[in-house]
Structure 1
Amino acid sequence: MYNTLLFKKYLPEDFDAFHDLVKVDDVMKYITGKGLSEEQARKKFDSILAINQDPDLGYFKVIEADTLKLLGDCKLVNYKKDPSVFEIGYLLRKEHWGKGLGTQICESMLALAKTLNPGKDVIGIIDPDNTASRRLLSKFGFKSFFVGIEDDIATEKLMLKRTASE
C-alpha cells in the first residue's frame, strides 16, 4: 500500500518521464486507445505546460512519497467546453491498478476543487468501457449524464454537482 502521495505539477524537464508513462498501450487504452508516439506525447506535454501556468489548476505527477517513484498523473482543470465546471482526470501505470490509488487521487483532487471553489461542479470524462473509473467516480457521488460519441470517441460523462454550502 502507498502511505503518502505527492502531487507535483509537470515541469519542462519532466517530458521523458511523461512520455515513458503515456507511451504504454495499457495505460492509454481508455484515454486515446493506444500509447502515444513521442511526437504525440510532445504535443500533449506542451499543452500541459501551458495549462500549468495557472497557479492552482493543472496536470500533476502522482509520486509515491517514500520512493519518489512516478506512479501516474492526474489533473484538475477548467473543463474546456464549460469553464464554469472543473474537470478531473487520472491515469496510472498498470502495476498500480486496483490498489486504491484512484481513490486517493480523487480525494486529493476533489479536496483541491472544494478549496478553490466549493460550489463549482466537477466533471469526469471516461471511456464507457472503463468500468473501474465509473465505479470510482460513482463512489464519490458522480452521476452519469451522457454516453455517446464525442469528437469521434466513445465517451461517458459523469458530473458531481456541488453547492457552496457542502
Structure 2
Amino acid sequence: MPEDFTLFKELVKDDVIMKYISGKGLTPEQAKKKFTSILDINADPLLGYFKVIDSASQLFLGDCKLVNYRKDPTVFEIGYLLKKEFWRKGLGTKICESLLAMAQDIDANKNVVGIIDPANIASKQLLTKFGFQSFFIGVEDDISTEKLILKRT
C-alpha cells in the first residue's frame, strides 16, 4: 500500500541490508522507483510483495515476495529482505516455508526460482535446504548473480 513507502525506504537505504541485493543501499529516488514497481506488481490478488510483521508485536521486520519471474512468467520467484536485527533468528526459514506453501496453493506444478548474490552463503544454504538447485552463476544486470530453482514438474 502507498502508505508503506516510509517503511520500505528505511529498509532499502541500508548498505548492509542491500549488500547482496543491489550492492548498496538505495537512494530515496531509487527506493521510490522500486516501490512504484512493487505497487504495480501487487495489482495481482495472489502474487506480490508482502510486509513481514511480527504477529505478537506488529513490528515491521522486512518484506518478502512471491511473483512471476520476470524472465519467465511460467516460473515463480521468491525472495525476502529483513532488517539486520532480525537476521539469524530462523525467520528466513519461516518466510521460505510460507512462500513455498503459497506457491503450492496457487500452482503446485510451477517451478520456483530464488535469485541471490553468490557470496550470500546464508541464502544459498536456506534455498538448498528446501531443495533448490543452482542453475546459473554469473553477472546479470551488472550484478553478481546466482539463480537456484526448485523443480516441481
Do they superpose with TM above 0.5?
yes
Query: Aligned residue for 1:146?
Result: 136
Structure 2 distance, partners of 1:53, 1:159, is 25
Amino acid of the structure 2 residue aligned with 1:137 = L
Structure 2 distance, partners of 1:17, 1:146, is 32
Query: Aligned residue for 2:84?
Result: 94
Q: Secondary structure at 2:44's aligned position in 1?
A: coil
Structure 1 distance, partners of 2:79, 2:139, is 19
Q: Which sits farther off after the overlay, 46-55 or 20-29?
A: 20-29
Structure 1 distance, partners of 2:59, 2:39, is 21
Of 90, 93, 113, 1:103 maps to 93
- TM-score under structure 2 length normalisation: 0.99
Residue 61 of structure 2 corresponds to residue 71 of structure 1:
yes
Structure 1 distance, partners of 2:59, 2:16, is 19
Residue 108 of structure 2 corresponds to residue 124 of structure 1:
no
- TM-score under structure 1 length normalisation: 0.91
Structure 2 distance, partners of 1:138, 1:12, is 34
Which runs of structure 1 show a deviation greater than 4 angstroms over 4 or more consecutive aligned residues?
A: none
Give the length in aligned residue pairs. Answer: 153
Residue 11 of structure 2 corresponds to residue 24 of structure 1:
no
RMSD over aligned Cα atoms: 0.5
Q: Which runs of 5+ in 1 are unaligned?
A: 1-10
Query: Aligned residue for 2:49?
Result: 59
Structure 2 distance, partners of 1:109, 1:131, is 20
Structure 1 distance, partners of 2:12, 2:59, is 15
How big is the shift at 1:153?
Answer: 1.0
Amino acid of the structure 1 residue aligned with 2:44 = D
How big is the shift at 1:35?
Answer: 0.8
